[in-house]
Chain A
Amino acid sequence: MPAILAVVKRLPEHVQVDDPAAQRKLAKKLERQQVPLRQDYGTKVNLFSHLHQYSRKKPLTQQMSIPSTVIHPAVMRLGLQYSQGIINGSNARCIALLEVFKQLIRDYSTPPNEELSRDLVAKLKPHISFLNQCRPLSASMGNAIKFLKKEISCLPDTLREDEAKEKLQDVIDKYLREKIVLAAEAISRSAFEKINDHDVILVYGCRSLGVLGRARSRGRRPVQGRSWCDRACVSPQVSKVLLGAHALLANGSVMSRVGTSQIALVSKAYNVPVLVCCETYKFCERVQTDSFVSNELDDPDDLIVLRKGQAQLGGWAENKSLRLLNLVYDVTPPDLVDLVITDLGMIPCTSVPVVLRVKNVDQ
């Protein structure tokens, strides 16, 4: 019988917040990189106590000097824009990240006796830790970082510093153009083919305005999704559902904004086709079957809503038996999704591992 070698993958730190050993390790790493550790805020719901929960009112900059000696100002600004919710959405975050990396590379100069291909990656690490502390990295950002690190370490030694930097700028521009901008173009064209006359389309978490624009011009009515209650009411009239995705996982599940799986479920019950629009650069090798293990907790104070001048949940922290949960993502199982529209064409959910395998072979 051949022995099967099991590869044990370490759990990432961000899902082990209630494990003191993991947190100590993280604290040591951040101290080495001179990045402050962001404190969690508020009591968490028990099921999600393994995740971080931060408050927007306590930014990371509270613990840093002005100006920062460790973090590049463009990265400081980006981190603040992430943590304050000014740059939101996985595409926007990824684009902003790559633009800032371009700036970092522009301002970088190789120290004497160092190789750019090794030193630059090392210099990027504290910045990535900082951004992670401001807001957990999204799957799109993670993939972009992996791609960039690979490109940097594959730089031939024969290149001069300015040539190397220019090559990296070009490589990043190409990634931005092909994987994000043109991919969106391709997706909106494909999606357009799927829209017929007199369709009522429900859109949720999908900002492909190109699709909506074209739909409007041919007299079709798109319906913007806001909360799942609306969906339940509207479903009998809806003929198609268009969903956006934060990431597509290796088992075909769709990780998207919270509420997506409910819409998919309701649509399935009414036999309405569910189409997911997702660029291939967001495809992940992770496998998730539930929305609990790996997720993100947003600022619980966001749920304090002013109605008629009164903040309904204003004193939630004082009430010991009250916990607020503001989830960001949820996972939709593949059998609820009919079609995934990508820049490579229209594929079923189960073809995601194939795409990933082909991508790896290419690289």
Chain B
Amino acid sequence: MLNLDTKMKLDFVCISDNMDMGTADSLRHIHQKIKTDVLVLSCDLITDVDLYKVVDLFRTHDASLSMLMKKAHEPTEGVPGQKGKKKPVEQRDFIGVDDTGKRLLFMANEADLDEELVIKRSILQKHPRMHIRTGLMDAHLYCLKKYVVDFLVENRTITSLRSELIPHLVRKQFSSPASLQQGLDNKEEDQKKKEQASLDIYSFIKEDNSLLKPAPDNSCWNDQRGDMNETLHEGKVRCYVHIMKEGLCYRVNTLGLYIEANRQVPKLLLNLGLEESLVHGSAQITDRGMIGSDSIIGSSTQIGEKTSIKHSIIGSMCTIKDRVKITNCIIMNSVTIEEGCCLQGSVICHNAVIEKGADIKDCLIGSDQRLEAKAKHVNEVIVGTEQLMEI
């Protein structure tokens, strides 16, 4: 539901299909448009987080990075098309935060670790207590300083924000700038290190951050209750995270999460007490009573007699004939469902047609597909050949 009162000037930049761009590459592509600190969002994020909480961490601590995370959901129901109770291979993320739960100290993925978790001594010296958490989902919402974008532009080896840039920044908090390490090396190594030094993020941090300038003298003026102690005495790279406790936060980048998010949204809308009802005004429904209270019906959709719809989301311009039973489904726009069908736990994409009497359970029907009459499908994925996707 787009709140049409928000005034935002949108500037679309398209990336052609044949360019294989990661998230960092995309940011690099538009870096000329970025003149200040930037908020990077993934378009598959659905959340009701108070954005000021993430941005305030970024502002208050003059952080290089501030991000959003939430405890990951266990999917409550099975995913259509998934054969058996196969649990996806867990690639756990280990996230280390300090006592306040806001400062990000450590981040590593299980795939990058051998058997042990290695924590640098410099981290523990400054933060003796660290809480390590797994099972946190990264919302892919990042506040980045301008100099991080500049660093990314120069450092072309980084292709992905999440898997490369963010862990790099988290590690850099506790390592000294490369230039300081040069001291005793011999000449050949000096050359190599000089090239590397120019790619070190510290060289991108502008020196005109005047709050830090009078710092050594300033430490005597400060009542060192707050975090400024850190800001003054620690390195210049600081990473913070806001971990949501309650509320909605879904990254719908897998089918399972997409379905889960769809299930949760009607409840959320009811809680928000929006004036628009879940059933659109232009929908023509013969038997209102058979529509469940948490189902959403889109505009111009026609629903026939004796058709029951429970816990489902139906898009706009659909035609659903009589005596159809729809439970726990997600039906997109312009779908036609003929009489007598029974659909359960399925996802039907745009423009699909399901002929009379079909019985569909836990399936994924791709767009433009046509299912013949009295078809029976359980736990299948029916898509066109050009629409193959990962579940």
A interface, CB within 8 angstroms of B: 59, 61-62, 64, 66, 73, 76-77, 80-81, 84-89, 91-92, 95-96, 99, 102-103, 181, 184, 207-210
Contact = CB atoms under 8 A, between A and B. Distances in A.
Contacts of B227: 84, 86
Nearest to B220: A209
Given A59-B56, A61-B56, A92 B225 contact: no
A103 B208 CA distance: 10
Given A62-B52, A77-B60, A88 B220 contact: no
Given A80-B56, A207-B221, 12 more contacts: A62-B52, A64-B52, A73-B37, A73-B59, A81-B60, A84-B226, A86-B227, A86-B228, A88-B228, A89-B223, A92-B222, A210-B220
Interface string B222-235: 11011110010000
B219 to A, nearest CB: 8
Contacts of A96: 211
30 contacts: A59-B52, A61-B55, A61-B56, A61-B59, A62-B52, A66-B55, A73-B36, A77-B59, A77-B60, A80-B56, A81-B60, A84-B60, A84-B227, A85-B225, A86-B226, A86-B231, A87-B222, A87-B226, A88-B226, A89-B221, A89-B223, A92-B221, A95-B218, A95-B221, A96-B211, A99-B211, A184-B220, A207-B221, A207-B222, A207-B223
Greatest chain A CB density within 10 A among B60, B210, B219, B227 is at B60
Contacts of B231: 86
B260 interface: no
A288 B60 CA distance: 34
Interface of B is mostly: loop
Contacts of A184: 220
B51 interface: yes
Contacts of A61: 52, 55-56, 59
A66 B52 contact: yes
A111 B263 CA distance: 53
Contacts of A84: 60, 226-227
Most chain-B Cβ atoms within 10 A of its Cβ — which of A76, A95, A208? Answer: A95
B114 interface: no
Nearest to A59: B56
B214 interface: yes
A89 B219 CA distance: 11
A99 to B, nearest CB: 5
Interface of B: 36-37, 39, 50-52, 55-56, 59-62, 210-211, 214, 217-223, 225-228, 231
Nearest to A81: B60
Nearest to B224: A88
A90 B221 CA distance: 8
B210 A81 contact: no
Given A76-B59, A77-B62, A92 B218 contact: yes
Contacts of A80: 56, 59-60
Contact of B220 (A86, A87, A103, A207): A207
A88 B223 contact: yes
A62 B53 CA distance: 8
A24 B263 CA distance: 46
B228 A81 contact: yes
Select the residue from A76, A92, A99 with max chain B CB neighbours within 10 A.
Answer: A92
Contacts of B39: 66
A61 B221 CA distance: 27
Nearest to B37: A73
A92 B214 CA distance: 10
Contacts of B211: 96, 99
Given A88-B226, A208-B220, A102 B210 contact: yes
- Please list the 6 inter-chain residue pairs (A to B) with the smallest Cβ-Cβ separation, ordered nearest first: A86-B226, A88-B223, A209-B220, A91-B221, A92-B221, A80-B60
Given A81-B60, A181-B217, A88 B222 contact: yes
Contacts of A102: 210
A87 B50 CA distance: 24
Given A62-B52, A95-B218, A210-B220, A87 B228 contact: yes
B142 to A, nearest CB: 14
A279 to B, nearest CB: 11
A34 B186 CA distance: 60
Contacts of B218: 92, 95
A264 B177 CA distance: 48
Contacts of B223: 88-89, 92, 207
Contacts of A73: 36-37, 59
Contacts of B214: 95, 99, 181
A62 B222 contact: no
B210 to A, nearest CB: 5
A209 B62 CA distance: 26
A66 B226 contact: no
Contacts of A81: 60, 228
A303 to B, nearest CB: 14
Nearest to B36: A73
A199 B39 CA distance: 56
A91 B59 CA distance: 21
Nearest to A62: B52
A99 B214 CA distance: 10
A3 B276 CA distance: 71
B130 to A, nearest CB: 19
A296 B36 CA distance: 36
A95 to B, nearest CB: 6
B229 to A, nearest CB: 9
Nearest to B51: A66
A173 to B, nearest CB: 11
Contacts of A92: 218, 221-223, 228
A91 B221 CA distance: 6
B174 to A, nearest CB: 21
A88 B222 CA distance: 6
Which residue, B214, B220, B223, has most C-beta atoms of chain A within 10 A?
Answer: B220
A333 B129 CA distance: 45
Given A66-B51, A96-B211, A102-B210, A89 B60 contact: no
A175 to B, nearest CB: 13
A76 B225 CA distance: 21
Q: Which of A62, A80, A102, A208 has the most CB of B within 10 A?
A: A80
A37 B226 CA distance: 25
B5 to A, nearest CB: 12
A86 B60 contact: yes
A181 B61 CA distance: 25
A91 B226 CA distance: 15
Contacts of B61: 86
A175 B218 CA distance: 16
